[in-house]
Amino acid sequence: MVTGKRSPIAPPPAALAPPGAKPLTGRQAIRSSGPLFSVAKRPQNLALRVLWYAEEGFGKTAASAHAPGASFVLGPGEDGYETLLWRGLVPELPVARPETLLDLYHFLDRLAEEAEVPGWLVLDALGSFQEMLFEYITATEYNGVRGEKGFLSYQGGYRLAGREMERLLSRLERVRERGCNILLLAHATVGKRPNPEGRDFPRHQIQLHEKVYEPLIKWVDLALMGRFQTDVKEVAKGVVRGVGGSVRVLSAANADWMQAKNRFGDHEDVVVSGNTALDTWKALESFWKGD
């Protein structure tokens, strides 16, 4: 029978730990009878996750060599750093050259356990590491067949490569948790942005397959593009032409015409004020330093 009386309700437990109490974390906090929350403290030195793609000749590799405590991981076929070193344009830095995906996994697993980690770990460039993913999936899932009867069948290989990219990022995250900043370099290309409300349109994007790109863009804190500022001029009636220049711009704008992401939110465009690789690095740093 309903009497209209309410059952007594127990008061909720204290939400926050009392002053001076050592807060429990993770599973301990959830399963204990103590406070469920503790006041979050601002991290003092949180390592960064940066994705930088640019047009050819922008100077990504040379600028990245000026990252404090930089060490490079060079993908197969990537010789930009060595060419710059031969010309005396970059300092001598620690370099690793994994040849396969398993080599790269072994390297990152060891690095995560090292007593000291680099200030910045620079992976140059993502296209070559993507190829490692494709080769690994082809060998392990498709008996070495890359074509329509294997890796490319119903685009299944790309989906598996996206999942494998998540495993790669989890290893990079372990290194980052040690206090090592991660800088991922990539090449730029022009693709099409899918538009559900009308025609697709061109945009600058990272030279990666979308299934590999998707987990990557979720993981990074900052994704930005390096581009040369271009003016469009009418050279004849009805004829326009792009007039390039030497002005270099770093863009992290949330715009339809490019892929980007900026958790820091302070800058959208930064013009590189000088012509040296160090000038470029300083411009890049301004995104998280707020200069």
Most confident segment among 6-20, 87-101, 262-276 = 87-101
Tokens 């993908």 found at: 75
Given this model, what pLDDT does residue 81 score? 96
Q: What are phi and psi of 271, to 5 degrees?
A: -85, 130
Query: Tell me: the pLDDT tens digits for 118-154?
Result: 999 999 999 999 999 999 999 999 999 999 999 999 9
Q: Which residue has the higher pLDDT, 26 or 16?
A: 26
Q: Does position 5 have pLDDT exceeding 80, yes or no?
A: no
Q: Does position 236 have pLDDT exceeding 80, yes or no?
A: no
Q: Does position 33 have pLDDT exceeding 60, yes or no?
A: yes
User: DSSP letter string over 192-253?
Assistant: EE--TTS--EEEEEESS-HHHHHHHHHH-SEEEEEEE--EEEEEETTEEEEE--S-EEEE--
* Per-residue tokens: 72: 């490079």
- Show the domains of the chain with their CATH numbers: 49-224 (3.40.50)
Split at pLDDT 50, 70, 90, the class of 29 is low
Cis ω before 186 (30° cut-off from 0): no
| Nearest in space to 224 (alpha carbons), one of 273, 180, 184 | 184
Give the angle subtended at the CA of 204 by the CAs of 135 and 90, to the nearest 5°.
70
How large is the average pLDDT for residues 68-81?
96
What is the share, in percent, of the chain residues with pLDDT greater than 70?
82
Average pLDDT, the chain: 87
* Per-residue tokens: 147: 């074509």
What's the distance, Cα to Cα, between the start and end of the chain in Å?
Answer: 70
Given this model, what pLDDT does residue 17 score? 52
What is the share, in percent, of the chain residues with pLDDT greater than 90?
63
